[in-house]
Each structure stands twice: as structure tokens, then as C-alpha cells.
Amino acid sequence: MDKKCAIVTGAARGIGLATTDLLLEQGWQVAMLDRDEDALLEQVSLRDNVLPLVRDVSNPQDVGAMVRETVTWSGRVDALINNAGVAEFGPVEMCTFEIWRRVMETNLDGVFLCTQAVTPELKKTKGSIVNIASISGLRASTLRVAYGTSKAAVIQLTKQHAAELGEYGIRVNCVAPGPVKTKLSMAVHTPEIIQAYHDSIPLNRYGSERELAEVIVFLASDKASYVSGQVVAVDGGFDSTGVGLPALRV
């Protein structure tokens, strides 16, 4: 009961797994949720002080079970990291309603459902919520009409929840990752895409999963005790460049 507990969704890989590891390093317990059972159980087997939750954040019954199982295990919930997400890219005319709904169900509905379900426990601990959006929620782009819209909605939902839950001492913030070097991104980004991103990012590189985790864990922790309703773009300066062309830089 003395050790803080976080729920991390989409915890089997990528930013969710890196966040889990940093929380563990800092003495937290972590309930790791993912719908990919094999990947989740493999990672859980390598770690202590974790609880595997094979659940789907878009399913209200699964989300309710997530909270019950976590509280039974840890006795408390101090932070919720809404990281689970899906991405389906393609031209706008090829985005069927089925694709649109698949993206929205996980990326937006999942954040709403998890936040609503965990709020009663966070009231007890005066805990925190960190939502993971995307630079695509701040800047429009081709090929991601559903993804970008879902992440923009997550940013607004963050502010709505921060405004309403603050009176209970619950802080709600959002991290908007820019290009991040993951196994998936490196597999699908061509050398031309990588170079184009490098040219557009003032720091001239991709971020790492650990760099994202550092900001997420800070916002979830007491070190950010007076920070709420904020959107932090962890993007190497990508968002700050606006429409400036790399060729115009000195």
C-alpha cells in the first residue's frame, strides 16, 4: 500500500514499455495493459512489481476490470498513462468509416473510458493522468486524417479533464511526441522520409522512447505538482518551426 502504482496502457512495447521501465526504476508498481497477450506476457516475465492486464481500452467492460484488478493487486492507483493507440495512414478518400472508427475507438474512446473509470481511485490519492497524443494532433499532415484528428481530440480532452478534475487534486497533462525512433518507425520510414524529418527538426534527429518516458514520468510525478492542463510537444523543436523551410536556415 505504500508503493505508488501506475496503470500504463499500451505497455507491451515502445513508449509504453519505456515508461513502465522508468517508473519501475523510480520505485513504482506498474499495471501493464495491452491487448497483445503474447508480447505483454513476454515483457512481464522479465520484470518485477508489475501486473499484466490483457485488456482492450476501447471495451468498457475491459476497462472496468482493469481498475478492479489493479486495486486488488496494489490497493491504490496514483497515475494513469493513456498511451495505447493505433495508427492507420492513407489518403483521405481511402479512409473508410470502419478505419475511422477503429482509430477513434482506441485513440479517443480509450482515453475517455480509462480516465472515467480510474477517476474515483485517483480522487483518493490526488493522482495524475498523462495522455499521449502526437505532433499530428498539433500540426496537420497528409495521410492521417483519422489519426491526426483523434490525437487533436485527445489534446482537447486533456484540457476538459484538467478543468473539471482539478478540484479533486487530480492533474491531467498531455505529451505530444514528434518523430520517435522505434522498431516500427524504422521499419516503415524510408531513407527519404528519415532525411526529410531530420531536415525539418531543429535538433536534426529522431527522439528516443526513453526521452519520451522521461517527460511522461515527470508529469506523472509529484515533481510536476503544479502542472495541469498542459500539452508538451516532445519533438526536438519540430512544432516550433511552423512553415519555415529548412533551406532558409542560416
Task: Output the pLDDT for position 216.
Answer: 98
Task: Output the pLDDT for position 245.
Answer: 55
Task: Output the pLDDT for position 158.
Answer: 98
Task: Output the pLDDT for position 31.
Answer: 98
Q: For 206-245, what is each residue's pLDDT tens digit?
A: 999 999 999 999 999 999 999 999 999 999 999 988 655 5
Helix (H) or strand (E) holding 233: strand 231-234
Task: Output the pLDDT for position 249.
Answer: 53
The domain locations on the chain are 5-233
Give the separation between CA 209 and CA 200, rounded to whole angstroms. Answer: 20
User: Residues 207, 234: contact at Cβ < 8 Å?
Assistant: yes
In order of 129, 185, 235, the CA distances from 189 in angstroms are: 31, 6, 17
Residue 202 grid coordinates: 531543429
Which residues, including other chains, have CB under 8 Å from residue 127's CB and lie 6 or more apart?
A: 77, 78, 79, 80, 121, 170, 171
Q: For 173-182, what is each residue's pLDDT tens digit?
A: 999 999 998 8
**CA end-to-end distance (rounded Å), the chain:** 56
- Catalytic annotation on 226? no
| Residue 94, pLDDT above cutoff 70 | yes
Task: Output the pLDDT for position 55.
Answer: 98
Give the separation between CA 79 and CA 49, rounded to whole angstroms. Answer: 15
Kindly state the average pLDDT of the residues 28-43: 98
Which residues, including other chains, have CB under 8 Å from residue 117's CB and lie 6 or more apart?
A: 63, 64, 66, 67
Pairing of strands 50-54, 171-177: unpaired
Residue 119 grid coordinates: 477517476
CATH 3.20.20.70 fits 5-233, yes or no: no
Residue 237's nearest CA partner among 194, 207, 193 is 207
Q: For 36-54, what is each residue's pLDDT tens digit?
A: 999 999 999 999 999 999 9
Give the separation between CA 171 and CA 157, rounded to whole angstroms. Answer: 13
Kindly state the average pLDDT of the residues 103-131: 98
If pLDDT is split at 50, 70 and 90, which confidence band does 186 have? Answer: confident
pTM of the prediction? 0.94
User: Residues 102, 128: contact at Cβ < 8 Å?
Assistant: no
Q: How many CB atoms lie within 10 A of CB 226?
A: 6
User: Residues 206, 181: contact at Cβ < 8 Å?
Assistant: yes
| Residue 248, pLDDT above cutoff 80 | no
Which residues, including other chains, have CB under 8 Å from residue 3's CB and lie 6 or more apart?
A: 27, 28, 29, 49, 74
Give the separation between CA 14 and CA 192, rounded to whole angstroms. Answer: 23
Task: For residue 227, give the amino acid letter.
Answer: V
Q: For 54-77, what is each residue's pLDDT tens digit?
A: 999 999 999 999 999 999 999 999
Spell out the alpha helix ranges (H) of the chain: 14-25, 37-44, 60-74, 97-104, 110-125, 145-165, 183-188, 191-200, 209-220
User: Residues 137, 176: contact at Cβ < 8 Å?
Assistant: yes
